Amino acid sequence: MYLAFKHSHMLFVVISGLLFLVRGAWMMMDSGRLQKKWVRVLPHVNDTLLLLTAIVLCVLTQQYPVAQSWLTVKVVALVIYIGLGVVALRTGKTKTVRTLAWLAALLVFLYTFSVARAHHPLGFFAALA
């Protein structure tokens, strides 16, 4: 059961990242595709499944944010990623601001991924420490 949830979670992570990447590219191109209903709904459905599988994995492994420093960092980075994503795809006043927020969000996404892979709060920066 653990492996099914782990692999589902990883799949939802990849889908979430790809959807964000594509939506950001469409934002930079001023594409009308961003207004399609499925483009606005699918990321929320996927991210809900992503969150649910994360919660199940925490319960199954009995590893929780605050108790595990790397999970705490993942949650904090997730909140930053969401905030940057909102600026990138919704509230940024100019295309430059939206593009910079999108690029920053992608970097935070990659950092969060590296924290998950390494089970270390520094993620890919752990090699420098």
Kindly report the number of other CB atoms within 10 A of residue 40's CB atom: 12
Q: Encoding tokens for residue 47?
A: 């991210």
93: helix, coil or strand? coil
126 — pLDDT class (breaks 50, 70, 90): confident
> pLDDT (tens digit, 9 = 90+) per residue, 2-47?
999 999 999 999 999 999 999 999 999 999 999 999 999 999 999 9
CA-to-CA dists, residue 69 to 55, 74, 78, 115, angstroms: 16, 9, 14, 10
128 — pLDDT class (breaks 50, 70, 90): confident
> pLDDT (tens digit, 9 = 90+) per residue, 39-87?
999 999 999 999 999 999 999 999 999 999 999 999 999 999 999 999 9
Distance CA 40, CA 71 (A): 28
Q: Encoding tokens for residue 72?
A: 């705490």
> pLDDT (tens digit, 9 = 90+) per residue, 82-107?
999 999 999 999 999 999 999 999 99
Distance CA 24, CA 100 (A): 10
